[in-house]
A and B are shown apart, each in its own frame.
Chain A
Amino acid sequence: MGAHRMLVLSVAAACALAFVPSSGRADIQAQGSDHSVELRGSTSLYPLAQRVAEAYMQEHPGASVVVSGESSFRGLKAMIVGTAEVAMATDIVPEELEKLARTRSVKFDRFDVCRDALVPILNPANPVSALTLKQLSDIYRGAILNWKDVGGNDASIHVLSHEGTSGTYETFKQTVLGDSAVITPSARMLSHQGVLDLVAKDPDAIGYIGMHEVGASKVPTVNGVTADAASITSGRYPMRRQLSLYAREPISSETKGLIDFFLDPAKGQAMVRELGDVPMK
């Protein structure tokens, strides 16, 4: 058995060496037809983009609009390397991806499709119903460790955050922590669903998420303001963001058509409003 395994390994090693791909390559040309557009990215924008894509395909029977929800970071990466025409993402492009685009000489354009907000989320049993930005920042930096310090029970705070590829995390960092701040090492990094599930189970947990993804969680005010269309549009609610589409240049006519549809006040923007999101205008 041992000898046989060795042989397999050495054959594999030899082959791996023999078939190292040659360098010097061009990009893959085919991106489907002119009538096909692929969108990948933010799970916050995913439900809206799915509905808009369906409405667009109904209006344009020959068109294919394919949508996948991954994360802002991965959607932007797919757009930059050319596996998707359009990325769904928040309004922040991480420096690592700006650099990837520069290395690959890729240019892209941003189209803001709706306004949105992040909200802190708590277990419904948590008595805390208001937090300030400063308190949130202290909790996430690990400077406040107990709920009693923000008007709650005498219990340690269980801090939940998002994976680094999440646009939600980028916005939270920017609007709450500031660029240089570091999240407490005791925080757990989870997927969107993971944050929701744990907040639902744990009375001492705190998380944050897009305002339309809160499920049954309790949403405290921030600086005394509730996140809603009015407070987002007026700028009074502090944890705001824009959700955007990013398209790689040159932009095909079908991609342009889809983006125009998304931005059309009577079409995509009307759906933004119907689904409870906040349109750009």
Chain B
Amino acid sequence: MTRATNVVLLLAAVCTASCKGPPTREPLLIAGSTTMREYLEGLEEEFERRNPTIDVVFGGGGTAAGAMAVKKGAVDVAMMGRDLSASEDDLTLRNYLLARDSVVVITNPSNPVDGLSLAQLKAIYLGEVRSWKDVGGQDSPIVVYEREWSDRSRKSFGALALSGDSDGVVQSAKTAPSADEMISAIRSNPSAIGYLPMNRMSKDVKNLRIDGVEVSRITVLSGRYPLTRSFYLVVSNPPRSAEKFVEFALSADGEGILAKNGLIPTF
């Protein structure tokens, strides 16, 4: 499907949805990254509670289509799961950094391996490297843990570590149904590797350095930790309702909701 078709389809979806709202409420059209949309859970409800005359209408379409739609004035706010590209950026677009998203790669504290390169991490998850000795560790098979398909940290890990190839994870990988169970699985298995969202970091497991960089709020904000991406709200010539939404998302209360959803606020 072409990008133009994407824009048309998301517009149609947004419009159909908006027509159902009460006529007295002003629709605020937000479209773009569906991944980012999941992280905004709770933000829209709280915003509408505080602004009863505004009806937030979400459409998907993806990051590229969202950027195009906001430039054309077809939607009020675009959600982007990455930086604007040089060709997308222009003098009128404003992309407000809302939060950063990151994942922590973990092993058992007894594992002598302290860090992996991005390439090694990817090779382990795709099953191309199967023993710890191939990445400087002991001669023991690597036990790969992942999260269930609907989990947000699985999607982040797929996008950040596997170039989006979450389905290519080695067949023998085990699934941890929650962050707590991920932690207890890794804690009880010296050969295991897994991952956690930033807000669930635990002292019971070892955080691996990636490309030599230790994971922390500081290295995620500085942008040096490699498993990091940025979420933006983008406006071009926004109506007041769109400005209010961006202001709320960037406020202490808005950023608090994003933090609860596992993002690293830039607040």
Q: Which candidate, B7-15, B46-54, B103-111, B141-149, is the interface stretch facing chain A?
A: B7-15
B267/A28 in contact, CB under 8 A = no
User: What separation, in Å, do the CA atoms of A83 and B266 have in the docked complex?
Assistant: 12
Which 6 pairs, one residue from A and one from B, show the smallest C-beta to C-beta distance? A15-B15, A30-B250, A12-B11, A30-B247, A50-B222, A21-B239
A interface with B by C-beta (< 8 Å): 8-9, 11-12, 14-16, 19-23, 25-33, 35-36, 38, 46, 50-51, 53-54, 57-58, 64-71, 74, 77-78, 81-84, 96, 100, 163, 165
> Are A68 and B97 touching (Cβ within 8 A)?
yes
CB distance from A255 to the nearest CB of B (A): 14
Interface residues of B in 194-250 (CB under 8 A from A): 218-219, 221-224, 230, 235-240, 242-243, 246-248, 250
A100 to chain B: which residues have CB within 8 Å?
A: 91
Q: What residue of chain B has the Cβ atom nearest to residue A22's Cβ?
A: B239
B interface with A by C-beta (< 8 Å): 7-9, 11-12, 14-16, 18, 27, 29, 72-76, 83-84, 86, 89, 91-92, 94-97, 100, 218-219, 221-224, 230, 235-240, 242-243, 246-248, 250-252, 255, 265-267
Task: Report the nearest A residue to B250, measured CB to CB.
Answer: A30
How many angstroms between the C-alpha atoms of A12 and B74 in the bound complex?
A: 9
Query: Given A19-B75, A65-B222, 11 other A-B contacts at CB below 8 A?
Result: A11-B16, A21-B236, A38-B97, A50-B224, A57-B222, A64-B265, A67-B223, A68-B97, A74-B86, A78-B95, A81-B94
Distance A9 CA – B265 CA, assembled complex (angstroms): 38
**Assembly CA distance A65 to B97 (angstroms):** 12
Report which of B18, B222, B255 forms a contact with A67, defined as CB distance below 8 A: B222
A–B complex contacts, Cβ < 8 Å, 16 sampled: A9-B8, A21-B76, A21-B238, A25-B243, A28-B94, A28-B243, A28-B246, A30-B247, A36-B266, A50-B223, A50-B224, A57-B221, A66-B97, A78-B95, A83-B97, A96-B91
A76 to chain B, nearest CB (A): 11
Q: How far is the CB of B228 from chain A (nearest CB, A)?
A: 10
Q: Which residues of B contact A22 (CB under 8 A)?
A: 239-240
Instruction: Give the nearest-CB partner of A71 in chain B.
Output: B86
Q: Compute how far the CA of A96 lies from the CA of B89 in the bound complex, rounded to whole angstroms.
A: 14
| A71 partner residues in chain B, CB cutoff 8 A | 86
Q: A11 and B12: CB pair below 8 A?
A: yes
Contacts of A29 in B (CB 8 A): 243, 247
Q: Distance in Å from the Cβ of B50 to the closest Cβ of chain A?
A: 14
By the criterion CB–CB under 8 Å, are B73 and A53 in contact? no
Chain A's nearest CB lies how many Å from the CB of B263? 13
Bound-complex Cα distance A57 to B84 (A): 26
| In contact, A32 and B266 (Cβ under 8 angstroms) | yes
Which B residues are CB-close (under 8 A) to A83?
A: 94-97
A contact residues around B238 at 8 Å (CB):
21, 25, 28
Which of B7, B15, B218 is close to A57, meaning CB atoms less than 8 Å apart?
B218
B23 to chain A, nearest CB (A): 13
Do B12 and A38 have beta carbons less than 8 Å apart? no
In the bound assembly, the distance between CA atoms of A11 and B92 in angstroms comes to 27
Q: Are A64 and B266 in contact (CB under 8 A)?
A: yes
